[in-house]
Structure 1
């Protein structure tokens, strides 16, 4: 059986945030078909579990110069899309927390609203989504039990699910996000979304979203 097309996303990445925004706005039918896999810097516990699976984390930390460029580029892109943005300051981030909390929300059928609340907190208000209190507040607004969300990393099944996603990323040679994969086709980055959508449409003779009045912008 063929695997569903996959999207690797991260709450850390502004390009992931903007790509998902474009995807959900212009082609929501695609979103329903995708396998969504969170991609995040692992903490010591997750790293040890990855070692046990003979998997590593391909992502390489960026330089300060690249970080400054991404800040300017993201603000430009957000402005083009008409999205207000507040750049967050990450101090000692614990990325397992928001991503594992999202996996919990998905189990509870609240993946989309919790995603929206976390991205609104991070990119709309510049809040630290690695802070348990911020996660609790986002969970409450999304209809998720705040304590379950804040303690998602303590749930062995949720932790194992997060590790499984990172193992899949390792096997798929994922080195950054957003990253879309459809069969042998791979698309990395914000500016590859249109190419992915063309391949997705061609793969089964689907209708171009632009023909339905939904221009990809």
Structure 2
């Protein structure tokens, strides 16, 4: 696998790095879909996830180590509460998933397989719906197979993590993130400008459209504090990258 040089990345389209795990990526996706579909049509979609041992070795072969580490339990629980506030403020119903044995190649390489078949966007919509509306575990191959069924694709997409070609393609996505200096998701890049976080969607949109940004954030606000609901038990350590 050849590394992607940063100069090559600058020649490409505006892009965003998204994670199927992250609630903040889901928020950004919904804003782009519902408010700025013209921009969503113009940007490159690049998945980012916490690599397993095989992906880590592919990255190590080209001298790359990603800034991924286990997250402190307190920060993990704060993010869950904060994400709930975001959803509540927007009137979105969320069913919180529990990641029993996280293996993010299964869903993200599944996206790459679906994208090759012209169903990448539909796959992302279905995966986010499965995770945040139905509380399903995207590390379960049966869940990805069900998404394939829904999209009229072969259920073998659930086994994308076993495909050496998709493994290489996935590693190239992570290499691109490394050279774009992505350190959290969602992460947006347009030329030399980078934007981090769901509250920077409008700034990225203005940059892509070539318009001045009015300084407004996409972060939702409510008239009064929202009490946090009971949280699901954390069964595995979270990654500091995936949760922003």
Per the normalisation by structure 2, the TM-score is 0.80
Name the SS of the counterpart of 2:41 in structure 1. Answer: helix
| Uncovered stretches (5+) of structure 2, i.e. residues with no partner | 1-9, 221-244
For 2:197 and 2:152, locate their aligned partners in 1 and report how far apart those are by CA, in whole Å: 31
Name the SS of the counterpart of 1:37 in structure 2. Answer: strand
Pairwise CA RMSD: 1.9
Contact 1:6 1:36 in 2 (8 A): yes
Runs in 1 of length 4+ with deviation above 3 angstroms?
none
**Cross-structure match for 1:66:** 75
Contact 1:9 1:179 in 2 (8 A): yes
**Cross-structure match for 1:49:** 58
Structure 1 residue 2, shift from structure 2 partner: 2.6
Structure 1 residue 157, shift from structure 2 partner: 1.5
**Cross-structure match for 2:207:** 199
1:86 to 86, 92, 95: 95
- Are residue 185 (structure 1) and residue 193 (structure 2) matched? yes
For 1:59 and 1:154, locate their aligned partners in 2 and report how far apart those are by CA, in whole Å: 23
Contact 2:86 2:219 in 1 (8 A): no
- Are residue 98 (structure 1) and residue 102 (structure 2) matched? no
For 1:4 and 1:216, locate their aligned partners in 2 and report how far apart those are by CA, in whole Å: 25
- Are residue 107 (structure 1) and residue 111 (structure 2) matched? no
Structure 1 residue 216, shift from structure 2 partner: 10
For 1:84 and 1:143, locate their aligned partners in 2 and report how far apart those are by CA, in whole Å: 27
Per the normalisation by structure 1, the TM-score is 0.90
**Cross-structure match for 2:168:** 160
For 2:197 and 2:99, locate their aligned partners in 1 and report how far apart those are by CA, in whole Å: 22
Residue correspondences, number: 207
After TM superposition, list the pairs within 5 Å mapping 1:142-157 onto structure 2: 142-147=151-156, 149-157=157-165
**Cross-structure match for 2:17:** 8
Name the SS of the counterpart of 1:151 in structure 2. Answer: helix
- Are residue 38 (structure 1) and residue 47 (structure 2) matched? yes
Contact 1:87 1:126 in 2 (8 A): yes
How far does the alpha carbon of each residue in 1:124-151 deviate from its partner, in whole angstroms, 9 at most, with x for none? 111111100111111111222112x111
| Uncovered stretches (5+) of structure 1, i.e. residues with no partner | 209-214
